[in-house]
């Protein structure tokens, strides 16, 4: 391997990338169904790769980049899957997730996303020079990662903490995972508060930041503190069946029933208009992305540097044709009509390329984390449903299923396309070969898709998706999948509380107007409507820990600005971000692993006079508060390894944080004094004698 073509796509890099992709895909599937959010995986994967490959010896930055590229497919495939495919279970078309169907839909959709995005690389990354923020961040982590030990240790400790917390609460039931308090004020007004003791949700709040976390909390507050009391006071009499069911219920049960049957559909309406608005506001970007993709031409790679070599255009076209054929066969099995299956395949290819272009362009503008993939999917399902409605007619039972299957492929393709361009941006910065990254992302997409069905079936059996699996457990909310099922079913005539959906559209429009005002006045604070909509749709106890994580992120930013003037708070928060990612991974993986052998303890406990439950709640809250403190604590310093001879410096250096350095030094001295105090006089003399004998000897001190 010469200097012009350095080692990248090695066997060990592929194996490590696949292992990380499978684990992170499972974690994101759990998190997405639980809280309606997924988190980017490239940076945690890069940190793990730098630590593991360094132990194996002779690693380089390009090899680590390949690992991060393959593992990053986990979040996009998980998002494409859990945003859509669970809708087939929610609608009653499936009772379980068929392995081969899920693999075909998610895997082929992911591969199409890779191929659709290849022609966009040169224009979006090189010519238009879009920012691609996650790609730049990943590249910076790779470039400064000469000593990944601290970051890897932070993630390991966090993963162990999240795993232990999940095992203690769900497995051994030391404390309820969530509990709520509600009471009537007057005859009908309900007051409600709930909290979930999930380290993963705390980590999510930290990663998304205070702005988004606060908006989700506002959405939850609107849902539970405004809409539910209003409905119970002024609208419930218009629904006699629901009013009869509410008679004699406690305040908490009444609030849950009103939310489940009516109020959460306000969130559906807000998500619907939010998705449509995101596409309308990006119409110029959409057209630019389409023109970019159509204008690309194949060229010879002869004499082209390895940093500019993409997959050949002929291979891309052949691959698209080959991947569409099995999807056409699947569609035919659903609708039993050659013509309708052909129409579905054409819609899928055209819309897939269009929305992959949009996703790639938006990934460059605002990043993959803010990419409106759910809005793209809503629009696809609406468009496909209307066309299929004209063909199949109102009341068709296969129409909603067919629309969701089209949306599932496009959602996976769009998510992977945006992610691929982020990875290619990182590769451009560090000098990687594009076609090797494209191949690795395709491999990672297939590996991630291969784990989806087993994970989804485990979660379905243990918790239920949309509907509780059994009495005493709370179903996973799956907000995006429920929305897709509601939209597809509503077009074909299934019953929906359209008055609530209409209210949601109005609420979403108000938020959009507010966000536009903030944008035009140059405010740093923004109000993306989809964040508020998801908050309305989620159970309130899920929004509170996300909000807490956002508050910690805001405090950490303020802390860094005060102690490191002129520094970049986001860069200084890197250790906390890794710790938050570790919490998510640890809890999510254990949450998936333990559910076969233990009934999840995720039922909501009510406040009672029972002393045992009171003590359990107090124990859980104290432990959760400790984790909250530790997430913030990660910013000021990270304790020295037990085997290190020197005292570690705080993040940013001792000269910038003298108070923190004094505390670290004090702890080190106290611990050293305790160790010396345990020794007898003879042991102390012997230790001093051995140390004196070492003076003047040469040691090969390898830098840590």
Domain spans of the chain? 11-149+277-293+312-497, 658-694
Q: How many CA atoms lie within 13 A of 71 on its CB side?
A: 28
DSSP state letters, 442-488: HHHHHHHHHHHHHHHHHHHHHT-BSS-SSTTSPPB--HHHHHHHHHH
Q: What is the pLDDT of residue 258?
A: 92
Q: What SS3 state is found at 282?
A: coil
190 contacts: CB under 8 Å, gap ≥ 6 = 182, 183, 184, 228, 229, 232, 251, 254, 255, 258
Residue written as token pair 């591969």: 111
pLDDT higher at 186 or 369: 186
pLDDT band at 597 (very low <50, low <70, confident <90, very high): very low
224 pLDDT above the threshold of 60: yes
Average pLDDT over residues 604-610: 48
Q: What percent of the chain has pLDDT over 90?
A: 18
CB 21 within 8 A of CB 448: yes
Q: How many CA atoms lie within 13 A of 400 on its CB side?
A: 28
652 pLDDT above the threshold of 50: no
CA distance 502 to 194: 27
pLDDT higher at 614 or 337: 337
Crossing angle for the helix pair 133-143 and 42-56, nearest 10 degrees?
20
617 pLDDT above the threshold of 60: no
Average pLDDT over residues 58-86: 88
Burial annotation 497-529 (CB, 10 A radius, 16+ → b, else e): beebbebbbebbbebbeebeeeeeeeeeeebbb
Q: What is the pLDDT of residue 102?
A: 94
CA distance 92 to 404: 13
Residue 371's φ and ψ, nearest 5 degrees, are -70, 125
426 pLDDT above the threshold of 70: yes
Q: What is the pLDDT of residue 309?
A: 80
pLDDT band at 642 (very low <50, low <70, confident <90, very high): very low
Q: What is the pLDDT of residue 508?
A: 92
pLDDT in tens, 75-90: 889 988 998 999 999 9
Q: What is the pLDDT of residue 112?
A: 93
CA distance 290 to 496: 35
Three-state SS annotation for 19-34: HHHHHHHHHHHHHHHH
pLDDT higher at 344 or 371: 344
626 pLDDT above the threshold of 80: no
686 pLDDT above the threshold of 80: no
Q: What is the pLDDT of residue 659?
A: 64
609 pLDDT above the threshold of 50: no
β-strand partners of 178: 196, 604
pLDDT in tens, 431-444: 888 889 999 999 99
448 contacts: CB under 8 Å, gap ≥ 6 = 21, 22, 24, 25, 73, 74, 77, 78, 106, 110
280 pLDDT above the threshold of 90: no
Residue 365's φ and ψ, nearest 5 degrees, are -80, -50
Other beta carbons within 10 Å of 168: 17
Q: What is the pLDDT of residue 377?
A: 78
Q: What SS3 state is found at 433?
A: coil
Distances (CA, A) of 223 to 264, 483, 602: 7, 17, 22
Q: What is the pLDDT of residue 60?
A: 82
611 pLDDT above the threshold of 60: no
pLDDT in tens, 318-337: 899 999 999 999 999 988 88
231 pLDDT above the threshold of 50: yes
348 pLDDT above the threshold of 80: yes
pLDDT higher at 664 or 293: 664
Exposed/middle/buried for residue 673 (C-beta within 10 Å: 0-12, 13-18, 19+): exposed
CA distance 656 to 653: 6
Burial annotation 295-332 (CB, 10 A radius, 16+ → b, else e): ebeeeeeeeeebeeebbeeeebeebbeebbeebbebbb
pTM for this model (two decimals)? 0.68
Other beta carbons within 10 Å of 606: 16
Q: What percent of the chain has pLDDT over 70?
A: 74
Number of helical H runs and strand E runs in the chain: 29, 3
pLDDT band at 14 (very low <50, low <70, confident <90, very high): very high
pLDDT in tens, 120-132: 777 677 766 666 7
pLDDT in tens, 206-221: 877 888 889 989 999 9
CA distance 624 to 179: 13
600 pLDDT above the threshold of 50: no
Q: What is the pLDDT of residue 104?
A: 93
How far, in whole angstroms, is CA 95 from its chain's centroid?
Answer: 26
605 pLDDT above the threshold of 90: no
pLDDT band at 375 (very low <50, low <70, confident <90, very high): low
pLDDT band at 343 (very low <50, low <70, confident <90, very high): confident
Helix (H) or strand (E) holding 194: strand 189-196
Average pLDDT over residues 402-420: 89
Q: What is the pLDDT of residue 526?
A: 85
CA distance 539 to 34: 10
From 6, 41, 50, select the one nearest 20 (Cα to Cα): 41
675 pLDDT above the threshold of 70: no
What is the distance in angstroms between the CA of the first residue and the CA of the last residue of the chain?
28
Pairing of strands 189-196, 178-185: antiparallel
Q: What is the pLDDT of residue 593?
A: 67
Average pLDDT over residues 695-702: 45
Q: What is the pLDDT of residue 317?
A: 84
pLDDT band at 133 (very low <50, low <70, confident <90, very high): low
Q: What is the pLDDT of residue 450?
A: 94
pLDDT higher at 9 or 581: 9
CA distance 650 to 130: 34
Max intra-chain CA distance, the chain:
93
Q: What SS3 state is found at 191?
A: strand
Average pLDDT over residues 313-319: 85
Tokens of 238: 């218009």
304 pLDDT above the threshold of 60: yes
How does the average pLDDT of the chain come out, rounded?
77
Tokens of 546: 């996300």
CA distance 584 to 67: 20
Q: What is the pLDDT of residue 219?
A: 92
Q: Of 102-111, 143-152, 552-561, where does mean pLDDT reach its minimum?
A: 143-152
Q: How many CA atoms lie within 13 A of 491 on its CB side?
A: 27
pLDDT band at 3 (very low <50, low <70, confident <90, very high): very low
CA distance 584 to 581: 5
Exposed/middle/buried for residue 234 (C-beta within 10 Å: 0-12, 13-18, 19+): exposed
pLDDT band at 101 (very low <50, low <70, confident <90, very high): very high
pLDDT higher at 669 or 73: 73
pLDDT higher at 656 or 166: 166
| Range among 133-137, 193-197, 474-478, 502-506 rated most confident | 502-506
Q: How many CA atoms lie within 13 A of 443 on its CB side?
A: 22
pLDDT band at 519 (very low <50, low <70, confident <90, very high): confident
Distances (CA, A) of 259 to 274, 429, 459: 21, 48, 23
228 pLDDT above the threshold of 90: yes
Distances (CA, A) of 436 to 5, 231, 313, 455, 487: 11, 56, 15, 29, 39
pLDDT band at 362 (very low <50, low <70, confident <90, very high): low
pLDDT band at 109 (very low <50, low <70, confident <90, very high): very high
CB 420 within 8 A of CB 436: no
CA distance 512 to 519: 10
Distances (CA, A) of 688 to 403, 647, 678, 697: 77, 21, 15, 16
């Amino acid at each position: 391997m010469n200097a012009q073509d350095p080692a990248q796509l090695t066997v060990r890099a592929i194996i490590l990338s696949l292992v990380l992709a499978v684990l992170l895909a499972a974690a994101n599937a759990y998190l997405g169904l639980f809280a309606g959010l997924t988190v980017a995986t490239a940076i945690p994967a890069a940190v793990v790769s730098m630590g593991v490959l360094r132990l194996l010896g002779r690693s380089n930055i390009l090899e680590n980049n390949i690992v991060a590229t393959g593992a990053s497919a986990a979040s996009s495939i998980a998002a494409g899957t859990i945003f859509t495919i669970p809708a087939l279970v929610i609608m009653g078309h499936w009772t379980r997730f068929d392995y081969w169907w899920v693999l075909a839909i998610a895997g082929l959709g992911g591969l199409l996303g890779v191929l659709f995005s290849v022609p966009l690389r040169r224009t979006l990354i090189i010519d238009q020079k879009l920012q691609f923020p996650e790609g730049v961040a990943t590249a910076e982590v790779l470039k400064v990662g000469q000593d990944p030990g601290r970051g890897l240790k932070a993630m390991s400790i966090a993963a162990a903490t999240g795993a232990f917390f999940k095992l203690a609460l769900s497995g051994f039931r030391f404390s309820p995972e969530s509990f709520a308090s509600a009471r009537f004020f007057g005859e009908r007004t309900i007051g409600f508060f709930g909290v979930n003791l999930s380290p993963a949700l705390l980590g999510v709040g930290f990663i998304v930041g205070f702005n988004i976390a606060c908006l989700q909390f506002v959405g939850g507050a609107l849902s539970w503190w405004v809409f539910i009391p209003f409905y119970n006071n002024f609208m419930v009499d218009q629904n006699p069946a629901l009013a009869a069911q509410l008679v004699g219920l406690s305040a908490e049960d009444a609030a849950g029933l009103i939310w489940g049957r009516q109020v959460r559909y306000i969130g559906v309406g807000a998500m619907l208009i939010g998705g449509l608005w995101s596409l309308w506001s990006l119409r110029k970007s959409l057209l630019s992305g389409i023109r970019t993709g159509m204008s690309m031409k194949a060229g010879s790679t002869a004499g082209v540097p390895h940093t500019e070599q993409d997959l050949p255009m002929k291979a891309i076209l052949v691959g698209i044709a080959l991947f569409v054929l099995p999807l056409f066969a699947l569609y035919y099995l659903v609708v039993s009509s050659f013509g309708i299956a052909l129409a579905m395949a054409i819609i899928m290819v055209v819309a897939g390329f269009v929305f992959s272009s949009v996703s790639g362009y938006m990934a460059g503008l605002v990043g993959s984390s803010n990419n409106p993939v759910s809005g793209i999917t809503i629009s696809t399902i609406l468009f496909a449903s209307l066309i299929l409605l004209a063909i199949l007619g109102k009341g068709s039972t296969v129409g909603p299923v067919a629309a969701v299957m089209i949306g599932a492929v496009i959602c996976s393709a769009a998510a992977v396309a945006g992610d691929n361009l982020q990875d290619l941006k990182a590769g451009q910065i560090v000098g990687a070969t594009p076609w090797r990254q494209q191949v690795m992302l395709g491999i990672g997409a297939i590996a991630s898709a291969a784990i989806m069905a087993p994970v989804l079936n485990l979660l379905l059996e243990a918790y239920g998706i949309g509907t509780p699996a059994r009495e005493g457990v709370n179903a996973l909310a799956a907000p995006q999948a429920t929305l897709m099922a509601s939209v597809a079913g509503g077009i074909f005539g299934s019953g929906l509380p359209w008055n609530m959906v209409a209210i949601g559209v109005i609420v979403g429009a108000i938020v959009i107007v507010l966000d536009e005002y903030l944008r035009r006045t140059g405010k740093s604070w923004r109000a993306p409507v989809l964040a508020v909509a998801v908050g309305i749709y989620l159970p309130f106890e899920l929004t509170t820990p996300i909000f807490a994580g956002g508050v910690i992120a805001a405090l950490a930013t303020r802390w860094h600005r005060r102690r490191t003037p002129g520094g970049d708070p986001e860069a200084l928060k890197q250790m906390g971000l890794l710790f938050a990612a570790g919490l998510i991974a640890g809890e999510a993986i254990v949450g998936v692993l333990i559910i076969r052998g233990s009934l999840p303890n995720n039922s909501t406990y009510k406040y009672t006079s029972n002393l045992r439950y009171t003590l359990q709640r107090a124990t859980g809250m104290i432990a959760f508060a400790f984790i909250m403190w530790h997430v913030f604590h990660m910013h000021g310093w990270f304790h020295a390894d037990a085997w290190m001879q020197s005292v570690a410096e705080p993040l940013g250096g001792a000269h910038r944080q003298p108070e923190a350095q004094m505390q670290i030094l004090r702890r080190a001295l106290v611990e050293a004094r305790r160790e010396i105090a345990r020794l007898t006089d003879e042991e102390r003399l012997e230790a001093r004698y051995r140390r004196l004998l070492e003076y003047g000897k040469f040691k090969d001190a390898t830098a840590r």
